[in-house]
Amino acid sequence: MTEQPPPPPGPGFGPPPPQYAPSNAPAQPPYAPAQPAYAPAPPQPVPAGPEFLAVDKRNAVVVDASGVVFELSGHTLEFRWPEIRGVHYKASPDGRALMVAVVHMDGRFYECGVEAKPRARLREWFAQLAWVLGHYRPAG
């Protein structure tokens, strides 16, 4: 019988050869999982509070305890309350959609329009949105 060559070493350096290992160190498995240098912070739960949601076929507006979110044809824009200077809303010129604008702290503004079908829904959205914004932004 011929003697088999030793298997190739695994990834990384592994433990030192026995003649160089410290004699007082506890034995550690050669491929122990590395401990992360830091533990990722668990996601912070959003406190319960009133929410506003307006949705049509392409767009959506959400206002809740975390801030304002626009969904525009599959693209999402999230604004947290600390970065929002103001939130404005009005009916579109033809009266068929809710127009919501977020003014960022640096002066930029972003706008999203959500079509209201039936048109009576627009009045419901105005009442709900005013109440929710008043809850989170009582000073304006």
For domain 52-136, give the fold.
PH-domain like (2.30.29)
Residue 116 dihedral angles phi and psi, to the nearest 5°: -100, 110
Give the domain ranges of the chain.
52-136
Give the residue with greater pLDDT, 4 vs 140.
Answer: 4
Residue 28 has pLDDT above 70, yes or no: no
**Which is nearest to 122 in space by CA: 95, 140, 102?**
95
Tens of pLDDT, residue by residue over 76-104, are: 999 999 999 999 999 999 999 999 999 99
- Residue 119 confidence (pLDDT): 86
Neighbours of 7 (CB within 10 A): 6
Cis peptide before 17, with omega less than 30 degrees from 0?
A: no
Whether the Cβ atoms of residue 70 and residue 110 lie closer than 8 Å to each other: yes
Tens of pLDDT, residue by residue over 44-77, are: 665 678 999 999 999 999 999 999 999 999 999 9
Q: With 0-12 CB in 10 A as exposed, 13-18 as middle and 19+ as buried, what is 125?
A: buried
Q: With 0-12 CB in 10 A as exposed, 13-18 as middle and 19+ as buried, what is 15?
A: middle
